[in-house]
Amino acid sequence: MGKTRNFFHLHMVSDSTGETLMTVARAATAQYEDVQAIEHVYPLVRSTRQLDHALDEIEHAPGIILYTLVDPELAGRLEQAARAAGVPCVNILSPVFAVFQSYLNVRLTGRIGGQHALDADYFHRIEALNFTMLHDDGQIPDNLDEADVVLLGVSRTSKTPTCIYLANRGIKAANIPIVPDIPLPRQLGELRRAMVVAVVASVERIQQVRQNRILTLNAGGFENETYVDRRVIAREIAVTRKICAEHGWPLIDVTRRSIEETAAEIMSLYRAHKSALANGGAA
C-alpha cells in the first residue's frame, strides 16, 4: 500500500510573476515526506481589487500564505487578514531585505518586479534563448563557435531542456546528438571559443525515458524496438565515453541529476573554461 499524503493549501501572493515564491515554496515542500501542497498563485497583485480576490480565495481555503508585496498598504492588509483567519503569513524577502539594508547601509527602493527589468541582461538572455532554439539537435553547425557551450549526448539525455535552462541564464547553448556510425560535425574540431561538454546516463534510465517517449507517440515497429534495445543503448553510451576520452571533453552523468543540477555543473565548467581563455590557456 502507498503512503497517505497530507494535503494543505498554500497561497502565494505576488506583485510580480510569482516565480520567486513558487521556487521557494517547492524547495521547502520537497523537504517534507508525504506532504503535498495545493498551490494557489496570485501574480501581479498591485491593487486593492486584485488583493480582495486573493483574500476571498484564502477565506474559502485557509492555509499557509507566502507573499512578495512591495506596497506596504497591500502587505499590511494581507497580514491583517491572515491574523484574523488564524493562518501563518510570511513575507519571504523581508529577512533578505533586512540583511542587505543592514550590511550595505542603503535604502530599499521598493521596485516591483525589479528582477524582470528590460535591461541589458534581459536582452542578453533573450538573445541566448534565440540562439539555443536555432541550434537545437544539431541544426546550423556552421557557426558553432558563436556558442558558449556545445552540449553532446545520445537521444533522451535531456540535452534540449538543459540548453534552454542555460539560455535562461544568458548562456548560448547548442546541442548535437551523438549517433554511432554518424560522424559529428567537423566544426567541433575547429572550435576556439565554445566549450564542449557531453552528457550520459545509465542504460536503464535512457531505456525508460525512450519507452515512455514511444508510448506517448503511440509508435511501434522494428525501428523503435532497436531504439529501446539495451545493447544498442549500451553501445551508444560506450561511443559517447570514447569520443569524450579522445577529445578531452568533460562528461557528466545525468542519471540521477535534475536539469537544474546538470546546468549548474555545466555553468561551473564554463566559468573555468572562460577563465582559462582569458588567461591565454587551452580552451
Domains and CATH numbers, the chain: 6-115 (3.40.50.2300), 120-278 (3.40.50.300)
pLDDT of residue 3: 64
- Cell numbers for 204, please give them: 536503464
3-class DSSP state of 255: coil
- Cell numbers for 187, please give them: 566544426
Confidence of residue 161 (pLDDT cuts 50, 70, 90): very high
Hey, what amino acid is at 24?
V
Flag whether 157 is marked binding.
yes
3-state SS, one letter per residue, for 140-167: CHHHHHHCCEEEEECCCCCHHHHHHHHH
pLDDT tens by residue, 255-279: 999 999 999 999 999 999 999 998 8
Question: Average pLDDT of the chain?
Answer: 90
The number of CA neighbours under 13 Å toward the Cβ of 180 is 13
Rounded mean pLDDT of 6-18?
93
User: CB under 8 Å to 203, separation ≥6 — which residues?
Assistant: 230, 233, 234, 237
Q: Identify the CA nearest to 252 among candidates 234, 277, 269, 235.
A: 269
3-class DSSP state of 34: coil
pLDDT of residue 215: 86
pLDDT of residue 143: 94
- Given a contact cutoff of 8 angstroms between Cβ atoms, the answer to whether 251 and 240 are in contact is yes
The separation between CA 229 and the C-alpha centre of its own chain, rounded to angstroms, equals 30
pLDDT of residue 120: 75
pLDDT tens by residue, 79-127: 999 999 999 999 998 888 888 888 888 776 666 655 555 567 878 889 9
φ, ψ for residue 226, nearest 5 deg = -65, -40
Flag whether 35 is marked binding.
no
Residue 144 clears pLDDT 90, i.e. is over it: yes
- Cell numbers for 282, please give them: 587551452
Flag whether 45 is marked binding.
no
Flag whether 155 is marked binding.
yes
This prediction has a pTM of 0.72
Residue 65 clears pLDDT 80, i.e. is over it: yes
The pLDDT > 70 percentage for the chain reads 92
Q: How far is residue 128's CA from residue 36's CA, in Å, rounded to a whole number?
A: 35
Q: How far is residue 191's CA from residue 195's CA, in Å, rounded to a whole number?
A: 8
Hey, what amino acid is at 217?
L
Confidence of residue 248 (pLDDT cuts 50, 70, 90): very high
Flag whether 153 is marked binding.
yes
Flag whether 154 is marked binding.
yes
DSSP codes of every residue in 163-207 = HHHHHTTT--EEEEE--TTSPPPGGGGG-SSPEEEEEE--HHHHH
Confidence of residue 198 (pLDDT cuts 50, 70, 90): very high
Flag whether 158 is marked binding.
yes
pLDDT tens by residue, 31-46: 998 899 999 999 999 9
Torsion of CA 105, 107, 113, 115, to 10 degrees: -30
Flag whether 202 is marked binding.
no
pLDDT of residue 104: 84
DSSP codes of every residue in 39-65 = EEEE----SHHHHHHHHHHHHHS--EE
Count the Cβ atoms, other than its own, within 10 Å of residue 44: 13
